[in-house]
Amino acid sequence: MKNGKIITGFAMAIMVIAGACKKDFLNTEPQNEFSSESTWTDGPLAQAFIYNVYSYLGYGGYEEQALAAYTDEAMFTHAGRNINTFTEASETPSNPAWFSSTYSWNNMYEAIRDANIAINRLPTASFDDQPLKDRLLGEAYFLRGYYYHQLMRFYGGVPIIKRPYGLNEDYTIERSSFDATVSSIISDLDSAILLLDGKTVTPGRASELSAKALKSRVLVYAASDLHDANTAKAKSPTLSGYGNIELVAYTSGDRTARWQAAKVASKAVMDEGQGYKLDLTAPVSATEGKNNYISLSMAGGSKAAEADAAAASELIFFRTLSGLYTQESNWPLGGLHYGINNGPNGYHNWGGNTPIQQLVDDYEMMDGSKFDWNNPAQKADPYTGRDPRFYATILYDGADWKPRPSDVIGLDPVSQIQTGYYNNGGATINGIDTRSSAVENWNGTRTHYYTRKFIDPNPALPDNQSNFQLVPWPFIRYTEAVFNYIESCIALGEEAEARLWLNRIRFRAGMPAVNDAGQDLVNRYRNERRVELVYEEHRYHDARRWMIPAETVGRGIKSIIVNGTIKAGATPHVPYRHDKSRYNYTYTVVDNNENERRKWEDKMYFRPVLRDEINRNDKLIQNPGY
C-alpha cells in the first residue's frame, strides 16, 4: 500500500533528488528538492510545489484498510493486517497497530515541513502574480493546519514547528499543550481564510470555505469531553493518573466559551456554504430518501439514474481526480478501487471492511423507533421498514444489486446479494457471497454484510471498477458542519435550534421529525451523526471525544447468520433466488471472534508516540497508558 506521496509530471521535470539522509524525528530535510531558487521565481513552479504538499492527503478513506474497522462500523475481513493489535488493546510504542499514512507522525511532519517551506518562501517570491501568491500561501496555511489537526486528533498536543529547519540545528523539541496546538491550528486556518477570500474555488483544492469548515471541526473537538481535563479525569482512571494532562486536554478556561466558538464557526460555514436538500419542512418519501443518500455518497461522480449530480454541492474539501492526487499503479483504470476492496466476493471483490451487526441495528425503523430484536415482527423480517439510508449503505442478504460478472450470472441471473445458507428441500446451498461461495471462498464477509456506500450503483459499471476516480472522497462536507452546529447548540442548551437542523437532515433522508430533549436528544443526535457520516472516518474520533468507546469498539463484533428453508409445498428456485413467498428465513445474531476479540482500554483514547520517535527526541513525553 502506498503512502500517497506523489509528484506531478510537471513537478518531476524540475526536481533533483537529495542525497542527504534523515537526521531527526521531524525529517526536516526534504526527500525531494526543487532545483535551486527557480521554484520561487515562477508561478507555475511554486504551484507545483504546493501540489506536492496536497499529496500527503493520500487516498482518504479509500485505502484497502479503513479506519471504520477500528470502530463499531466494520470488521476487517482479512487476518494478519495488524488490525487486532489495536482492537485487542495490545498496541505499544514498540509494537504499533496498523495506521494510515495520512495520520502517521512521520508522514504528517514531512507534509508540515513542506508547508513550512512554502509559507517561508512565498511572501518573498519574485514572480509578479500577487493573487496567485496569496492563493498558494493560503493553501499552504490550510494544509499545515490540516496536517496538524490530523496529529492533534490522534495524538493530542504535538511539537509545533512553524519554520523550515536548517542543517545542524537542534531538532529536539517538546510537545506543545493541547491548548497551544489548537490555537496554532486555528491561527493557520484564520490566515488561510483571509488569503483565500474571493479566490476561485477549484475542485480538490483548499478554499476559504474549507478553511472555515476545518475550523468548525477543530473547535468542536476542542470543546468535547475528552479534551476537558476535569471531565476526562472524572471519566477515565488512566487519564486521571496522567501527569501531563495538559498535553491532551484543556486544564483551564471556559468550556462554555469553547462551545460558543464552535457554534459561531459552524454557523459561518452554514451561512456561506450550500448543502444538499436541507431546506425541507417535511420528510421526503422512502425512495427519495434512499436516492438522496446515494447522491450524497456519489457526490456527482456517478451517472446512475438514482444519483443526482447536484449533490456535489455538499462537498467542501474532497479528493478528486486531478493533478493534486496520485493514481495507484497496476490497477484497472489506473485507480485504487473501493469496490474491489469492499464489494461482495460473488462479484470477484475482496469484501474488506464489512459492516457489523451493531451498525445495522442502529438504523431506526421508518417511524423513528429503535429496531428491536425482541419484537417478533422485526426479528422475522429485519431488513424491512428501516431508515432509507440503510438501503443506500448496506448490502444484506436478498438486497438487489448490480448484474453479476459473466462467469457468475448463471448462478444469480436476478442480481441479488446472497450471504445466507439455503435449503431447497435437499442439500444446503451456500450463498455465492459467503465465505463458502462457489465463486470465491477466501474473501467473503465474516459478518454476512457488505458495504454499498461509495460503490457506484451504475449497472453499466462493473462492481470491481467502482473507484475513487469517479467518486470523490469527502474530507469535509457541508452536513458535518451542520452536525457541529447541532452539537454546539445542544451543549449550550439551545435545543429547539438543534432539533430544527437535526430534523432537516432527517427529512432529506425520509425520516420523521424528533422532539427529544436532554440526554435523549444527545443520544438521538449521536446516532444520527453515526448513520449519516458512516464510513467517512468520523466514528473513530467521535466515540473517543464523547468518551463512549467502551460502548462502541468495547462491545465486540456481532454477525448475522441467515438461513432459508423452502416452505412446505413450495417449488424451489433453480438457481436459487431470494423469495419470501417460497422460503422461510431465520436470522440469528452471533458473536464473531474469528479475527479479533475486541476490548477497550483507556490508553486507546490516543495513539502512542512510537519508540523510535522518542529515541530521536528525548524531550517527547509519551501519551497516557503506554
- Tell me the pLDDT tens digit for each residue of 158-204: 999 999 887 778 889 999 999 999 999 999 999 999 999 999 999 99
The C-alpha cell 466494520 sits at: 74
Cell of 53: 504538499
Q: What per-residue confidence (pLDDT) applies to 352? A: 95
- Tell me the pLDDT tens digit for each residue of 92-150: 999 999 999 888 999 999 999 999 999 999 999 999 999 999 999 999 999 999 999 99
Q: What per-residue confidence (pLDDT) applies to 24? A: 40
Side-chain half-sphere CA neighbours of 485 within 13 A: 24
What are φ and ψ of residue 593, in 5° steps? -120, 25
pLDDT above 70 for 10: no
Residue 301 · residue 458 · CB < 8 Å: no
E strand or H helix at 66: none
Phi/psi class of residue 510: alpha, beta or left (left: φ > 0; alpha: ψ in -120 to 50)? left
Mean residue pLDDT of the chain comes to 91
First-residue to last-residue Cα distance in the chain: 28
- Tell me the pLDDT tens digit for each residue of 499-516: 999 999 999 999 999 999
Segment 468-496 shows an average pLDDT of 93
pLDDT above 50 for 11: no
pTM of this prediction exceeds 0.75: yes
Q: What is the rounded CA–CA span in Å between residue 527 and residue 511?
A: 13
- Tell me the pLDDT tens digit for each residue of 334-343: 335 788 899 9
Nearest of 428, 451, 432, 450 to residue 440 by alpha carbon:
432
Give the start-end residues of each E strand in 425-532.
428-430, 450-451, 473-477
What are φ and ψ of residue 245, in 5° steps? -60, -25
- Tell me the pLDDT tens digit for each residue of 522-579: 999 999 999 999 999 999 999 999 999 999 999 999 999 999 999 999 999 999 999 9
- Tell me the pLDDT tens digit for each residue of 400-436: 999 999 999 999 999 999 999 999 888 899 999 999 9
Burial 104-128 (b: 16+ CB within 10 A, else e): bbebbbbbbbbbbbbbebbeebebe
- Tell me the pLDDT tens digit for each residue of 35-48: 557 999 999 999 99
Confidence of residue 3 (pLDDT cuts 50, 70, 90): very low
Cell of 369: 423507533
